[in-house]
Every structure is written in structure tokens, then in C-alpha cells.
Structure 1
Amino acid sequence: MKKPTKAIEKTYNWDDFFPAEHSHHVFRSKFNKGKGSFYHAQNFYDLAFVEDGKGTHEINGHRYKISKGDVLIITPKDAHKVTASSKNELFITNIGMKPSVVTHAKRRYPNQFSWFQIDDISKAAFHLDEERLAAVHDAIETLALEPREPAAIDRFILNLTPLIPLRFQETKIAPDWLVNAMEIFREERPLPEGVDALVRISGKTPAHVSRSMKRFYEQTPTDFVNDIRLQSVSHQLLMTTKSVEEIAYDCGFNNLPHFFKLFRQTFTVSPLQFRRGQQQGTPNQ
């Protein structure tokens, strides 16, 4: 990653602004035409959602245009600033997160949280269309009203991940038919039908789908479907009182021993431990 080419004007520390015990904070910024923030560093993670307007984002010596619907990822390693254009005001909603919370989330959700593990700064931003931005806005409003506890961030990440364009995670340019099929599957979630549904949506043969997914995403169709199933399972464990077995069957896991094995491999704990840990508002170890 290219190092900053200009001096850092300010450094923001979590404990200077927020209670140490809080896991996250939601805050909003308005920049008048031609105005911006200091070029600053910070010791926490930040998801910045451009709610309206246009401007530029300068980060680690790179400068990009930003506009409504853009989502920016800032880590404790970065130095950055945002500036409104000379003709537009800029409105940004930020979700600041303590590093320990992000570390625990990556450990609990290695697949669902992969989009946040960015080393290439050119990929550290993506765009949401109007519909997805509206859904994210609603999720942020809910998050702002919840206790500043890790469980709230868990729910937010689980709700946010399906809205992130799959193209953001690509290392190669996948064909539109595959990207569209995967996005439709993620949106409609025909989980009991599983891989058969993905193949049907794609309009291709099972072998073609399998070869293409391995080439462009380095995973099998079964791996992809199981990731989506596990996202749904974890969400239902947090948001419903249904039994673990009922949730597993609803999400297409008909082999319970296999389900329990996959769940523990992904989240490092059993489904019941996951549910109890989140209800208590403490990270799973």
C-alpha cells in the first residue's frame, strides 16, 4: 500500500471521543461546498456511507471521486480526508468500530466478513444502488438505537453483507451471468433447493457453473450455497427463538451432523454457544 504523501494534520483516538466500553458509534457529518475534514489518522475502523452529495476521498496518497451510494472502508492503518466538491454539499454517515470488535467479528464470520479485509486500497470502496442504500440506511437507523455492544455490530454486519455487490470481492472479471445468478440467489435465498437453484437461475449446466465458480471465486457452488445458508442460520439464531434443528432444516441443512461441523468450522463455537454468547452481548472466544 502506498504511504501518505502529505503530513497528517490530526490523529483521532477512540478514547478521546467515546466511552472505552462502547463497541461502536454512529455519527454523521455535513461538509459545505468546497470544505472537508483534516487529513487525519485514527486508531479505529470506520465504515463511511455517502448519503448524498459529491466530493473526493483522499486516502494514503490516493484520491478518488465519491458520490451518493459510495461506501468507504477506513482502517487504523490509514490516513485520509474527505472534501465536498465546489458545487455540492457532502453528507456522510460513519460507523466507527473499536479494533477489538472488528477482530472478533472477523474470527466469528470469516466468510461473511471477507469484504472488510482489504489490502488493496483501490478496492477499499464500493457503490450501492438506490435500493441497497435505502436498506443500509434503515439498518444504520436501527443500529443507532441499539446498545453499543458487539452483538449489535454482529447483527448489522449480517444484514449488510448480502447487500454488498459481489463484484467488489472479485479478483478476476467474472461473466455477468454468474455474477447475476449469485446475486439473485443471495437476494431470493432458495436455500432448501440449494445448488440446484443456483444452476437453474444461471441457465447453464452444473459443470459449467462449477468450473466458472472455481475459476473466478475459488470456491465450489456447494461452498457458496453453504456460506449463504450459514449467514441465514446465524441471523435466525440472533433474531428468532426457533430451535437450532428447525433453523438448520429451514436453511437447507438436512444432515445435522454435517451442519454442526460446518457451523463450528465457520464460527468456532456451536450454534447454542453462538446464540447464548450474542444474547449476553459478549464476543465468542
Structure 2
Amino acid sequence: MLQTVLSAVDFLPAGEAFQLVRATVEPRRPRGLIRRDFPVLVWVQNGAVRLHLAESRIEMVEGDVVFLRASDAHALQARADETLAVLLVFDPHLIDTLGQRHEALAGRFFWSEEPTPVRVHRDIRQLAQMNQAALRLDRSRRDGLEAEAFLLPLFASLLDGANLVPPDAPDWLARACAAAEDPRIFREGAAGFARVAGRAHPHVSRMARKYLDKSPSEIVNAQRMAYAAKRLTGTLDSLAEIAADCGIPNLSHFHKLFRQHHGITPQRYRKAHQRDLIQPA
């Protein structure tokens, strides 16, 4: 099998921390793999891609994102018409130091120790945001600051709701935990969690209990109460409005859940975290 070897020294111009590549992927099967000494973030902007690796392959669809480590030899093959992929090449030193500075990244994304690279999925809205961020990045200074300004929000959004999910948990469970941060999902309660998980409710409950020691309802309620706390300090909305926006129109139940999660009533929480900071009595 033919192999192409690329080096960061040759691929990245002096002083640049990254390079962005947009390319139409051809349907022909690759004759070999590309070996690199630098990491690459790749996502499918349109169409479908088969990602060939040394020991396996990954089928990618629009919105799929893969974190290719320097050790992951790869090649791309289109599996649909008009397939467009975006690749972000990073200075390996930048990625190494980023992982050292942020413990939350250990064992995830570019720093995963799993046999195959990490794949995540972005929905239509998230993919649009990612493409907009990439467009801004392409027009930037191409230094480390700009690279981190792109990467850190991406990592933070992927870790939202999923940062407590063990690495060996199913991908769909991590995605459901992340999706449960969205009010549009947690307003539906446990049913919304099971829906975005894409699995039968009993199976979702078993896996949530196995990997997180929580039920879907407990996971969703934690997100609801975190959201309620933000609304109490960040807005002047009434308790009834906040409760309804959490998907809990029953104020008595809302009060009970809030006290369980924060230890005090919503009114006292707002006073302690909002009013006392601005104009204490």
C-alpha cells in the first residue's frame, strides 16, 4: 500500500499554528494512507465520507467530526455526490500544550488513547456555527491565539453535559447528555432524553444507571435546575416564567426540585446571587 508522509515543518508555514483546507472528496478508493506528525480535525460539510484508517474505517455523514491524532494514518473516500470535507491542520506543539493546560481534555478528542480516533456529531445548527467559526479562522492571523479561540469553544460545547460520562460509555449516551443541556430537549423531560439518545426508553434508563448512576429523569432535572439558576441570576423573569421554561409548570414541584439541587429556595438563591451583588438590603 502506498503511503504519503507529511511533516508539520513542511505543511505549516513558519509562524502559523494551523492551516484550513476545504476540498471536494473523490469517490475513488484511495491507493494508500497519509501518515503525519501533526493532528487534524476533519468534518463533513456536505455528503458522506468513508474515513480509511490503518486497521479500520469510519463512515461519516454530514455533521460528523473526527479528531485525527498524529498517529492516525488516514485517507478519505466520498460515499455520496458532491461531498465536501473540511480539514484543520494544527501545530502538534499547540495541541500538546493545550492538553497539558486543561485537565478536562485528558483522554478525550486529540488526547484519546482509544484504538480509533474520536468521532462526534454536530446537528444542523451546530454545524453552521462550526462552519462560521472556521470561516472567521481562515481570515485570521493563523497564530496560536486564533487556533485556541476556535478549539476551546468547540471542546467546551462537546463537554457540556458529557464531561462526567466515562470514556467507555456509548457515544449515544454522551451525545444525549450533551443535548440535554438544550432547553428544547430538557423541557420534554426523560422522554426528550430518550428521543435524542435514539434508543428505547428502558435501554436508555439501564445504560444511564450503569454508566452515570442516574436515571434519565435525574439527568434532565439536573440540567433544568442548572438552567433555572442561571435564569434567576441573569434575568428579572418571574419564578412562574422560569419554571414553565424549564418544562415544570407546577410551581410547587419546581420549588421542591430547586431546593433538592441548590439547598435553598429560588427566591433566596436570586437574592444571594443577584440582588445582594447589586444592591444589598
TM class by shorter chain equals 0.5 to 0.7
Task: Report the TM-score when normalising by structure 1.
Answer: 0.58
Q: Which amino acid aligns with 1:105?
A: L
Who is 1:172 aligned against? 169
Alignment of 1:13-52 (within 5 A): 13-34=7-28, 36=30, 38-52=32-46
| Contact residue 36 and residue 84 of structure 1 kept, 8 A | no
Q: Which runs of 5+ in 1 are unaligned?
A: 1-6, 189-197, 204-211, 229-253, 255-285
CA gap 1:34/1:217 in 2 versus in 1, 3 angstroms: same
Q: Which amino acid aligns with 2:85?
A: I
Residues 1:216 and 2:200 are matched in the alignment: no
Give 1:12 shift.
0.9
* Separation in 1, partners of 2:111, 2:36: 17
Residues 1:102 and 2:99 are matched in the alignment: no
CA gap 1:78/1:173 in 2 versus in 1, 3 angstroms: closer
CA gap 1:96/1:127 in 2 versus in 1, 3 angstroms: same
* Separation in 2, partners of 1:78, 1:21: 25
SS in 1 for 2:103: coil
* Separation in 1, partners of 2:139, 2:172: 40
* Separation in 1, partners of 2:7, 2:116: 25
Q: Which runs of 5+ in 2 are unaligned?
A: 192-206, 214-218, 227-272, 274-281
Residues 1:64 and 2:32 are matched in the alignment: no
Q: Which amino acid aligns with 1:216?
A: Y
Across the aligned residues of Structure 1 and Structure 2, the Cα RMSD in angstroms comes to: 4.2
Who is 2:195 aligned against? none
Give 1:30 shift.
1.1
Give 1:183 shift.
4.0
Who is 1:140 aligned against? 134
Give 1:79 shift.
1.1
SS in 2 for 1:102: helix
Report how many aligned residue pairs link the two structures.
204
Give 1:214 shift.
10
| Contact residue 65 and residue 122 of structure 2 kept, 8 A | yes
Task: Report the TM-score when normalising by structure 2.
Answer: 0.58
Give per-residue Cα distances to partners, 1:60-114, cap 9 Å, x unaligned. Answer: 22012222111122111121111112x5232111110011000111122221564
Alignment of 1:116-155 (within 5 A): 116-122=110-116, 124-155=118-149
Identical residues among aligned pairs (%) = 16
CA gap 1:202/1:182 in 2 versus in 1, 3 angstroms: farther
| Contact residue 59 and residue 80 of structure 1 kept, 8 A | yes
Q: Which amino acid aligns with 2:114?
A: D
* Separation in 2, partners of 1:47, 1:169: 22
* Separation in 1, partners of 2:180, 2:78: 35
Larger Rg: 2
Give per-residue Cα distances to partners, 1:23-51, cap 9 Å, x unaligned. Answer: 11111121233365841101111000111
Residues 1:88 and 2:85 are matched in the alignment: no
Give 1:13 shift.
1.2
* Separation in 2, partners of 1:133, 1:37: 30
* Separation in 2, partners of 1:13, 1:174: 32
* Separation in 2, partners of 1:21, 1:64: 33
Give 1:136 shift.
0.8
* Separation in 2, partners of 1:21, 1:30: 28
| Contact residue 67 and residue 109 of structure 2 kept, 8 A | no
SS in 2 for 1:65: strand
